[in-house]
Structures are given as C-alpha cells and as structure tokens.
Chains A and B, each alone.
Chain A
C-alpha cells in the first residue's frame, strides 16, 4: 500500500542532483581552464587571472540583478542599455563638474539605474505588460537616450577626474576593489534570497504566482522590486564599467544583457522561474568570462565570441532538461 513516507529513498537522490547542478559548473570551469592553459600558459598567469576576475565582477553584479527577474519567471533585456545610460550620464556629470565628490558616483548610478528599473517594474507589475516586450522597449528607449544626451560623443579618459577612475583601481589587502564590490553585492543578495521573507517571496512568485497571492504575498510589490533591483545593479555597474575602462561611449555594453542572461542560465536558474541559486550565477558569470578571455588568449577571432556564447547558453538549457528527464525517469522506476 502506498505510504505517505514512500519518498524516503528518492530524497537522497533529489538532493544529489540539486547539488550536482552547481558542481556541474565547476567541472567545465576547470576543464576549459586546463585546455586554454595548455595552449597558452599565460592564461593562468596572475595578471590574466586578475583580469578575468575584474571582468567577471561587473558581469556578476548585473547577472545577480538579472537573476532576481528570471526567478519570477520574467526577463530584463534592458540591463545593457541601462548600464550604458547610467555610465554615460554619470561620466558626463563628472566631466562637467570635476569637483563633484567621487564617493557619490555609485550612489548617483544606483539612483539613475533604479529609476530605469522602476520604469520596467511599473510596466510589468502594474501595467501587466509581458516582461520581454516591456524590457525590449526600454532597451531601445534607454539606448536612444544615451545617443541623444551624448550626441554620439564619447567621454574620454582625459576628461574624467582621476578620482573617478580610481573608483575601480584601488586594492584592499591586495584584492581589487571591483572584486570586493561584487563580493558585497553577492553577500547582500545571498542573505536576502535565502534568509529574508522577501527573498523567499521572489521564489514563491516564480513558482506559483496565484498561490503567492493566496498566502498573502504582494505579487505586484515583488515584481516591481525585482525590476528595481535589476535596474539598480545595472546602474551601479554602469559607473563601475565607465570607471574601469576610463571612457563612456554610446555603444558601450551592447549585448551585455545576453551575457547576463547566459550567466544566469548557465548558473542553473530555471528560465521559467522559481528555482536557482545565487552561487550558481556567480560561477556562471565566471565561466562565461573565462571562456571569452580564453578565446582572446588563444588568439581566436573575437567573431566567434557571440556564437560561442549562444552555444554555451544552449548547452546549459539542454543539460538542465536532460538532468530533469533522467531524474524523473529514475523516479518512475523506483515508484
């Protein structure tokens, strides 16, 4: 007779697979690392590794914001444009007002990015516009504004105050501050997602929006919040990005939203929402950055970059569905 506790045997297995998904990123991480290093040992030089971590830091910050949105079953295509818009605006402010305190730059970035995110949030949460349509529109609108306000001109390195450039060039105890920024963002959102009711609400809305309402979760508020967070982190990244590359250009970070989404998906977050871990997203961002860097190091044409990124995205999705299928097959046998 079917007993209520009959899943005892299965339980272990389901945990294994849940863990496996995160570990499953570490494996290709080392495999690719090894392959690239064998072809060019420079790849594992301290200088290059540092470079990878710096690159991965900005991607991680944006991807964490993107993850929040994808957890609710949505998508934010506007993060790249948001990043460019914020970066351009803040750079122009510091170009024109050299004496503006540099410490305020990240805050201004958060503010502008937050406004952009809030616009998405209003469309999706209040206006009930499908996320892909809402953020596709704002992706073009934000990018358009970048061209309008900059008149197509760059803000060049020599126009930026030294302090602004230092924002991402300082090291604390030998650790680049950019990595520390990413670490802080990671820890903050790790805590939020796993230990705060609002974080669990994000998962709940992604799992079953109707039930979320039944148990008293304010779905509109949660949806608004995730787009706001995504905007804030993209905005913050805009400042870090322009500071790091010491220039702001109108076409900066085009396609960056795809990198962010790839990192999230490779990191094991379900595109349908409700499932995924923030640690996986960090690893996903790292893997993606490493491979792009590896292509450069191996002197493979950058033209391959986009196609390869798409391929990785596809592999991640296929691997996920294969794991799910095998898992359920195994389950049926046992029952």
Chain B
C-alpha cells in the first residue's frame, strides 16, 4: 500500500498531498483521491493527458483553488491555503500555463510587483533601484532582457522567461512550473533547465509539468502520472521508460506513437517555384503530391509559417509562382485559396481558428455558410447533418454537436478546427503545429486522422517543431533555416540529428 510507505518515510517529504477530491459545480470530479509527494531538492514531473487534473492539482497546491476534501501537509504539518498569497507565504510559488503578466508594465515591475523592496521614506517605489535590482537579478539568471522594456513588446518566449524570473524572485522553497517550455526554443529550454538544476542544488523542490516526455527524462528525478483525475503511480525516472509512461498516461498500450501508413503517391497537386517574400523567406520551391505528407521542419522563425501563410494568401508574395495541378494560380487572399482547395490550419487555434462561445455546429459550418443557405436563410438540418459527418469522421469527444467549443479539451478543439476546414472540401491541407499543447492520446488521434486523409488522396503539408512527430508522420521532409530551404530528405533517411543540424544552419556554414 502506498499509505504504509508514506508513514515510514514521511520525514523526507517537504510536501505531501493526500487523498484530494475536487469537483466543479455538478460535473464529474476533476480529482478523485489524488496523492502526491515531493522530496526536498528533487525535480518531480507531473504527467497526464489534458483533462487528467494536473493543472487543477497544482492550482490546489498553490492556493488558487481549494480542495473539496483531502489534506495538504507541508513539512509534516497540515496547512490550508485560502488564496495564492497564503501558499506564497509558505514558500510555494507557481508559474501558470496562462501567463500571469501585466503587458503594459515594465519587465522589472512585473518581476517585483507584489513584493517591492522599499528603501525610501514613506514606502515609495525607487525606480532607479528597481531597475538596477531587476537587471542584476536577470543577469544572475543569464537572461538578457531589458528591465525597462514593456512586457507587451516581448515575444512569447521572452514573456515566459519573465514569468519564470518573477516567480524565482520570490525565492520559493517549492517551485511549480506548468508547461514552462511550451513556447521556448531549444536553446532557451536548455538555459531554463540549467537554472532549474542549479535551484535544485540549492535545495529548492520543483514540480514540473510538461507534455514532452523527452524533457521529463532530461530533467526530472521522479514522475507522477495522473489519468482522468486519478492517481496512477509514481516512478523513479531512472527506472522507467517512455513506453511505460505513455501506457500509464493513456491507460492502453500504444503500439506506436506514429502509426504511419504507407500511401500511394498520386498526381502532382501543388508546385511552388521560387516563392520569395522579402525579409521573411527566399526562393522557396517544392512539390506536393496527392496522398503525400510533406513535413516542413525548422526552428521557430525560420520562415515555415510565413511560407504557409503566403500560399494561403494571408501574406502577399514578392516573387515566385504557385501552380495547382500544373496550372499557375494567383492567390490574393484566403478566399481565393479556399476556392482552389487549399486550407491552412493555424497554430494558435484560439486566435485564428475558433469562435469559443459558440457550439460545434456553428464553428464547423462557418466557412461554408453561404452554400448552406437557401435564399439567405440557413438550412439548420443540413448544417447538423454535415457537422455530424465530420463529428464522426474526426471522432470528436463531446456531449453532442451542440456543445460549446470553449468547454472542449484542447485536442477536441483542434479537431473542430479541422472539421471546419474539411467542410470546405479541400485537396491541400496545411497544418501548422497541429498537435501543439494537446495530450498524447489526442495527438495519436490527430496522427491517425492525417493518415486517413492522406489515404483519401489529400495532399498534406505538416509544419512542426517536434522532431519525432515530423519524422514519424512525413513522407518527405524539407528543412528551412533563416528563410531558405537548406535540405530535403525522405522518411527513410531522416534522423533527428540530421534534421536538427540542418535546421541550425550547419550545412549552410560548411558550404560557404
């Protein structure tokens, strides 16, 4: 029994969470009897699919939410956190997924707000001192961000770093990070890991949530898996494997994360010749065939997304030609592209893809409303029949087609985005980071869908930052670096090292 173990080595744990239950009004409990414990100076990964209850659990630990019942023990003593400040006073601080920053305020102020250090009369803020303090603090973490810059002017990655710096400035004993690496580049992730490791050496205990299993293995000492609000188990990272963890998370054995199915390569669908948009990408040429999945790899900022958006007509090209089935086309806006059978599924599904407060039907039929209308009045029945078709094809998990999109999980939201675009009956699908931020189970569902679509003769362009995904799913991979294609390799020759070294531009350097 777990409980027996807890009693024997209780002294070791800085934090213990016992038998936590939490439910939100009427719904199925989000947490059902969850246990979690944290040793002093360890990095403990918390794993689970979206909706497994990880975020709820850490919100309870950090005082944002209160459990229905169950206990939190800090150094063996029972504590109750009514709000985040209570937890902070006990040395617990969290970096949440939804960044808690103030965009119109400076970096320095974002770091120190809530705990200004006053050295002046009347407890007023000394700005010179504040900026100096922030500067030396950021430097000590090896971060080069101007403390006077406003947060709204920073990139997403920089904001994430500021958020982490803010929490570190509290100097917590227990640090909780909910997917801190989700928008960081490899280099930045590495730097963050170095910071985390040095904190660990100083005795800080860290709870680390990530979707990327590689990261769990890179940094964590132990890992706890939750599934559907239940505690599944805790393992030493050194004694477990990717397969075992996935099995614990998904609850079934996954034969293969990437169930690639060979498809027959059909006719030439799309040909891009010398596409250029000054300042963003240059001389991009490639071909896409029916039934083919073409991967585009490259670092964030390499021009992948820009190329895709130019083909889709969101951006205008400066030079180059686009051919569809051998005919040159002139795409001036997304409407042109859609009528030519091209769709682009953007990375940020909240910003570009979905009307969150509306239901699945409304979202699915949005781009084709005109064709569903009879003298300007929408045929509701036709609308539902059509939605049902894609609802079933994509296996969307919802209470029904009238469920509001906002209350779906990330993976299912992404499926609704796909349903919406598939309803326009495209031939060419451009998927930009289709699995970002969704859990393993939903990822596999998306992969299976990509296979199914390829088998049906769609041509698919897959843009992804996740190497295993792009290698696992693509028939051919083109690699971009600083706006240029630096290589094309087939599925058989592809390895992570090869792609990465090209994406980092090493090949370019050896040539010049």
Contacts and interface: CB of A to CB of B under 8 A. Distances in A.
B150 interface: yes
Majority DSSP secondary structure for residues of A touching B:
helix
B114 A216 contact: yes
Size band of the interface chain A makes with B: 35 or more
A196 B279 contact: no
A11 B158 CA distance: 14
Contacts of B114: 215-217
Contacts of B187: 1-2
Contacts of A210: 98, 100
B124 A195 contact: yes
A253 B153 CA distance: 41
Interface in A269-304: 270, 274-275
A196 B123 contact: yes
Interface in B114-141: 114, 116, 123-125
A203 interface: yes
A99 interface: no
A137 interface: no
Given A1-B504, A7-B155, A215-B100, A200 B113 contact: yes
Contact of A197 (B116, B146, B155, B157): B116
B85 interface: yes
Contact of A200 (B123, B125, B185): B125
B109 A211 contact: no
B148 interface: yes
A217 B188 CA distance: 30
A216 B85 contact: yes
B398 interface: no
B103 A14 contact: no
B124 A215 contact: no
Size band of the interface chain B makes with A: 35 or more
Interface of A: 1-8, 10-11, 14-15, 18, 191, 194-197, 200-201, 203-204, 206-208, 210-217, 270, 274-275, 331, 333, 335
A274 B101 contact: no
A245 to B, nearest CB: 37
Interface string B85-122: 10010000000101111111100010001101000000
Contact of A14 (B124, B125, B153, B161): B153
A-B interface, 3 closest residue pairs, ranked by CB to CB distance from nearest? A5-B144, A211-B100, A215-B114
A194 B124 CA distance: 9
A201 B102 CA distance: 11
Contacts of B124: 191, 195-196
Contact of B145 (A5, A194, A195, A215): A5
A201 B114 CA distance: 8
A207 B279 contact: no
Contact of B100 (A7, A10, A214): A214
B330 interface: no
Nearest to B103: A207
A4 B143 contact: yes
Majority DSSP secondary structure for residues of B touching A:
loop
A4 B113 contact: no
19 contacts: A1-B299, A4-B144, A4-B145, A5-B146, A6-B155, A7-B154, A7-B155, A15-B148, A196-B125, A197-B123, A203-B102, A211-B100, A211-B101, A213-B84, A215-B84, A216-B83, A217-B114, A274-B102, A335-B301
A4 B125 contact: no
B314 interface: no
Given A213-B84, A216-B88, A3 B144 contact: yes
A7 B146 contact: yes
A191 B146 CA distance: 25
A11 B100 contact: no
A331 B154 CA distance: 10
Given A2-B157, A216-B84, A203 B185 contact: no
B155 A204 contact: no
Contact of B158 (A4, A18, A216): A4
B149 interface: yes
Given A4-B144, A212-B102, 4 more contacts: A191-B124, A200-B105, A208-B103, A210-B98
Given A3-B144, A214-B96, A274-B102, A204 B113 contact: yes
Given A14-B153, A274-B103, A7 B158 contact: yes
A331 B158 CA distance: 15
Contacts of B104: 203, 206-207, 270, 274-275
Residue from the set B101, B104, B191 with the largest chain A CB neighbour count within 10 Å: B104
B102 A204 contact: yes
Nearest to A212: B102
A215 B153 contact: no
Contacts of A274: 102-105
Contacts of B324: none
Nearest to B170: A215
Contacts of A203: 102, 104-105
B394 interface: no
Contacts of B279: 333
B300 interface: yes
A11 B84 contact: no
Contacts of B155: 2, 6-7, 335
